[in-house]
């Protein structure tokens, strides 16, 4: 597999989970990657697992920190050259429950990290020379359909879908911009949605299992590859068929 040979990618929030699987897939397909996350040690371990400094670097920081974003793009350019792929994978959900009682501070943080953080990463990547490449934003099925209990998180993920469309128009033809919208994928982030009842939850999926990080990595790698050269502004739902049933979680 070398569909991404020569590519230079930033994958945000990639010390574990979906982001790490994306980084692994990118390296397997010939790209060099920069991964981010808040925990320095976890990043160092992940970089080793990816194959070390020849193919991967890690830069610690918070996704909603503008200085961190600028430092990442500069570090990537120094290590590997201009960015050609950006995967906006960082996303948070610090609040569960009805919108009527939602803490607005938590909502604002979600907008800062999930939406404005994503736009900030795009702006930085463009400053760093992203031209002729590809952006993928990690949305969620909760951004496609109502998802009671995680509603405002879904609002931010819906915003990412629209942001994807606007950016796709604005940045064409040089840069393609797409999104991926997963249902429940077995990571630390989603533990509360399936732990202790995985079989029961999986039974509601037409494909009878929950997602794995590799399921999402495959979709992202496709969207960044030459096979997707005529695809932009789209949101690829990767959900084991769940949304066909009317459910989102
Ligand atoms: N898992 C699912 O079911 C699911 C479904 C739909 C969409 N998604 C989306 O997929 C994305 C990845 O989720 P995941 O399930 O892979 O989560 P995860 O396993 O918890 O991994 C999250 C990664 O992001 C980093 N991170 C978290 N908050 C950060 C922040 N504020 N700034 C920088 N890095 C941060 C974490 O490292 P540190 O903790 O060290 O910072 C870690 O590397 C998110 O956007 C999520 O909304 C997930």
Cα gap 24→100, rounded to integer Å: 40
Q: Is residue 159 part of a domain?
A: yes
CA-proximal residue: ligand 1, atom 20 (nearest)? 189
Q: Sort 155 into a burial class: Cβ within 10 Å, 0-12 / 13-18 / 19+.
A: buried
pTM for this predicted structure: 0.98
Q: Is residue 145 part of a domain?
A: yes
Say which residue the tokens 């320095």 belong to: 40
Q: Is residue 102 part of a domain?
A: yes
Cα gap 3→26, rounded to integer Å: 9
Q: Is residue 249 part of a domain?
A: no
Residue 205 catalytic?
no
Which tens digits make up the pLDDT trace of 8-51? 999 999 999 999 999 999 999 999 999 999 999 999 999 999 99
Q: Sort 232 into a burial class: Cβ within 10 Å, 0-12 / 13-18 / 19+.
A: buried
Distance from the alpha carbon of residue 170 to the mean position of ligand 1, in angstroms? 27
- Provide the residue range defining the domain that includes 64: 8-240
Confidence band, pLDDT 50/70/90 cuts, at residue 1: low
Q: Is residue 246 part of a domain?
A: no
Which tens digits make up the pLDDT trace of 160-190? 999 999 999 999 999 999 999 999 999 999 9
Q: Is residue 213 part of a domain?
A: yes
Give the CATH number, domain containing residue 235.
3.40.50.720
Q: Is residue 3 part of a domain?
A: no
End-to-end CA separation in angstroms for the chain: 33
Query: Quick check: CB of 182 below 6 Å from ligand 1?
Result: yes
Q: Is residue 1 part of a domain?
A: no
- E strands along 19-84, which residues? 32-37, 56-60
Number of domains in the chain: 1
Maximal CA-CA distance, the chain: 50
Query: Quick check: CB of 72 below 6 Å from ligand 1?
Result: no
Distance from the alpha carbon of residue 173 to the mean position of ligand 1, in angstroms? 30
Q: Which of the residues 96, 153, 194, 205 is marked catalytic?
A: 153
Task: Please determine, for residue 246, whether its predicted confidence score (pLDDT) is greater than 90.
Answer: no
If you ran DSSP here, which 8-state letter would residue 243 be given? G
């Amino acid at each position: 597999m070398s569909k991404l040979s020569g590519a230079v990618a930033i994958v945000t929030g990639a010390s574990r989970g979906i982001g790490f699987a994306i980084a692994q897939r990118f390296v397997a397909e010939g790209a060099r990657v920069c991964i981010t996350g808040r925990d320095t040690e976890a990043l160092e371990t992940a970089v080793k697992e990816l194959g070390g400094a020849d193919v991967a670097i890690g830069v610690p920081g918070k996704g909603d920190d503008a200085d961190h974003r600028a430092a990442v793009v500069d570090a990537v350019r120094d290590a590997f050259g201009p960015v050609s792929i950006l995967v906006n994978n960082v996303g948070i959900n610090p609040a569960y429950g009805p919108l009527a009682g939602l803490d607005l501070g938590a909502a604002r943080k979600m907008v800062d990290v999930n939406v404005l953080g994503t736009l900030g990463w795009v702006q930085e990547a463009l400053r760093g020379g992203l031209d002729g490449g590809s952006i993928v934003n990690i949305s969620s099925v909760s951004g496609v359909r109502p998802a009671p209990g995680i509603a405002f998180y879904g609002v931010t993920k819906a915003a990412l879908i629209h942001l994807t469309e606007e950016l796709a128009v604005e940045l064409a033809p040089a840069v393609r911009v797409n999104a991926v919208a997963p249902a429940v994928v077995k990571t630390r982030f989603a533990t509360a949605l399936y732990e202790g009842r995985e079989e029961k939850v999986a039974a509601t999926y037409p494909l009878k299992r929950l997602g794995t990080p590799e399921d999402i990595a495959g979709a992202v790698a496709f969207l960044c590859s030459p096979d997707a050269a005529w695809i932009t502004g789209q949101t690829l739902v990767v959900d084991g068929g769940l949304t066909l049933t009317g459910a989102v979680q």
